[in-house]
Structures are given as structure tokens and as C-alpha cells.
């Protein structure tokens, strides 16, 4: 028997009330990585942020940013 699929996703963030959610996705991604830097790679507190950025950001963008982080060229305050 499969579990019921949970219908949960990134909630609306009042810092980004408008149609353009580009900054929202970027901010969640940065929040996740700052959280892992502060609390450790496998901290479960950071899982929340991971779910948020994965829901909002296209896979291609996440892959590109991961690559940039590895090469040290990520354009954000990690």
C-alpha cells in the first residue's frame, strides 16, 4: 500500500508578495546553504529550506548553481 501523497509545498513568503518569484527561489537556495554551513551538512533543520528551494526553482537553475558553488563562482552571499 502506498502512503497518501502529502500535499505540501513552499508557503507564500511575504518578503516576495509580487508575481516575480525569482528572488524568492534564490533566497531559499541561499538560506539552505547558509543553514548547512552553520548547522552541518546533514542537519534536519535545513531540510525545510531544501524542500522550499526545490519546489520553487527549476532543476536547471539548481544544477547550474551547484556547479558554480563547486567552482567557487556562485554569485551570492553563501
Cβ count within 10 A of residue 40: 10
Work out which of 30, 54, 69, 74 binds another protein, going by CB under 8 A.
54
Q: What track of x and - describes contact with another protein for positions 6 through 35 (by CB under 8 A)?
A: -xxxxxx-x--x-xxxx-xx----------
Q: What is the DSSP string of 36-72?
A: HHHH-TT-GGGHHHHHHHHHHS-HHHHHHHHHHHHHT
Binding site for another protein (CB under 8 A): 2, 4-5, 7-12, 14, 17, 19-22, 24-25, 51, 54-60, 62-63, 66
Amino acid at each position: 500500500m502506498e502512503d497518501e501523497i502529502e500535499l505540501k509545498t513552499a508557503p507564500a513568503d511575504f518578503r516576495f508578495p509580487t508575481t516575480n518569484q525569482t528572488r524568492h527561489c534564490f533566497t531559499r537556495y541561499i538560506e539552505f546553504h547558509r543553514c548547512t554551513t552553520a548547522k552541518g551538512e546533514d542537519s534536519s533543520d535545513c531540510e525545510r529550506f531544501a524542500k522550499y528551494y526545490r519546489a520553487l526553482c527549476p532543476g536547471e537553475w539548481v544544477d547550474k548553481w551547484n556547479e558554480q558553488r563547486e567552482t567557487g563562482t556562485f554569485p551570492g552571499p553563501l
